[in-house]
Amino acid sequence: MHLLEVRGLGIRNPETGTEWILKDVGFEVGEGEFVTIMGPSGSGKTTLLHLCAGLESPSEGSVFLAGKDLAAMKDRDRTLLRRKWIGFVFQFFHLLPDLTVRENLELPLRLQGEDPAVHEGRIEEILDALELGDLRDRQPHGLSGGEMQRASIARALAGRPPLVLADEPTGNLASRAGEETMRLFREVHRRFGTSILLVTHNPRDAAFGDRVLFLFDGRLDPAHALEGPDLDAASVFARLEELGI
């Protein structure tokens, strides 16, 4: 089953109404798959994630999440579907400053109307996987950038979403902390079986995925994708040069 299916997706620049930010984009993310989308800054990666989550409406094409056409749903139904199926990780963390790490993790559960105490084991497992056990009672101002991003990933997992969308998750981190964050994404993928769609402009980060797609000039051609056991940063660099990105 494809958790996410994107078909012929396009969106126009809202300021001009004529220029295309994205045009004829199509791809899928399957159960347990880790897909990265590589593209330069300004290529429409964040817009694409917003479309995939139903946070923006396309000018053309369709997005199916868990087999449901997002454009055909009412706003409330789309919101409820998103809460159930998607966790988000952002470049700038977006942790609530007055809550502790643990309380930030509990928030998605509360939004779903669930009692966090019922999920005590799950929360502890996530804290352990993200190496946050000793930081659970700290507020974000007492964390480093890397620790805040780990807390952000943990929060995204708290509601057990089958799919995590990550928008440039290392873009606000030093190189070492960024590499550690990507290693933890791989661990999350292995340990919980979570599907991940991650967008980045960093070839090193892109190479952590099972499959790398390339977005440029508003288009994404699956024929240019990279995957397989030899996938590494060098092969991503080589494909970028080949495509002239």
**Has residue 200 been placed in a domain?**
yes
Average pLDDT over residues 148-166: 90
Residue 175, pLDDT score: 85
Q: Would you tell me the crossing angle of helices 101-111 and 145-157 to the nearest 10 degrees? A: 30
**Has residue 196 been placed in a domain?**
yes
Residue 194, pLDDT score: 93
**Has residue 187 been placed in a domain?**
yes
Number of domains in the chain: 1
Phi (first) and psi of residue 219, to 5 degrees: -125, 155
CB 213 within 8 A of CB 35: yes
**Has residue 64 been placed in a domain?**
no
Phi (first) and psi of residue 172, to 5 degrees: -110, 20
Q: Binning pLDDT at 50, 70 and 90, where does residue 77 land?
A: very high
**Has residue 5 been placed in a domain?**
no
CATH number at residue 161: 3.40.50.300
Q: Binning pLDDT at 50, 70 and 90, where does residue 13 land?
A: confident
Q: Would you tell me the crossing angle of helices 120-129 and 175-192 to the nearest 10 degrees? A: 140
**Has residue 61 been placed in a domain?**
no
pLDDT in tens, 28-44: 999 999 999 999 888 88
**Has residue 233 been placed in a domain?**
yes
Q: Is the pLDDT assigned to residue 215 strictly greater than 80?
A: yes
Q: Is the pLDDT assigned to residue 111 strictly greater than 80?
A: no
Sole residue written with tokens 């080949």: 242
3-class state of residue 199 by DSSP: strand
Domain that holds residue 208: 31-42+84-243
**Has residue 122 been placed in a domain?**
yes
Residue 207, pLDDT score: 94
